[in-house]
Chain A
Amino acid sequence: SQQGEEDPQALSIQEGENATMNCSYKTSINNLQWYRQNSGRGLVHLILIRSNEREKHSGRLRVTLDTSKKSSSLLITASRAADTASYFCATVIVYNNNDMRFGAGTRLTVKP
């Protein structure tokens, strides 16, 4: 069963705008990871945020984690057409560090 759920399912923006994607999960986690997938390809790891962290940055990416609300957000600033992809959050539940659950993803389209 899926643990995380991304919102929105699809997002379309213009180049240069910011894109925000949200992830909600159900049970206590050790950490949460965000991945990106270009159409028909494998996933690429973006950021890992641990349960005791609230915010993390990597280049144009900013991830927040609110464990009280069981939610996370991924912000991509100054988006580019090359950011067009699907973005997935993945959570690892507390009692099994190998059981990583992925959401259904947010499909981001950045128009040039």
Chain B
Amino acid sequence: DGGITQSPKYLFRKEGQNVTLSCEQNLNHDAMYWYRQDPGQGLRLIYYSQIVNDFQKGDIAEGYSVSREKKESFPLTVTSAQKNPTAFYLCASSMGLAGQETQYFGPGTRLLVL
């Protein structure tokens, strides 16, 4: 899992609640990414950030928000607007652009709705 940590491993969300997933990397990577994985499917990009204080929407950004105040950290908030949040969330980082460099993934956070 490289030098990327995600917490918690499991997270439970109640209806109408916002929850924040943590992602920290000590690889000195500039770029960080959040993906969502549903059972039997591949990964879908939620948000990515190439540098501090800048981030871009991916394929499925609706109902999610991010911040990039520090190079090492890229937290993801799942808001109450995300109607189907149950999934496995993976954070990744790379030295440069995703397409040019190896992406290193964290161990993932499994989000469940109560």
A interface with B by C-beta (< 8 Å): 1-2, 4, 30-31, 33, 35, 40-45, 48, 88, 90, 92, 97-105
Q: Which 5 residue pairs of A and B lie closest in terms of their CB atoms, listed nearest first?
A: A92-B99, A42-B105, A102-B42, A97-B97, A97-B99
Q: Chain B: interface residue count, which band?
A: 20 to 34
Chain A residues near B90 (CB, 8 Å)? Answer: 42-43
Cross-chain contact A88 with B42 (CB below 8 angstroms): yes
Please tell me if B43 contacts chain A, counting CB pairs below 8 Å: yes
Q: Which of B31, B88, B90, B105 has the most CB of A within 10 A?
A: B105
**Residue-by-residue, is B78-105 near A (CB-CB < 8 Å gives 1, otherwise 0)?**
0000000000101010000111101111
Cross-chain contact A102 with B99 (CB below 8 angstroms): no
Distance between Cα atoms of A2 and B56 in the complex (Å): 19
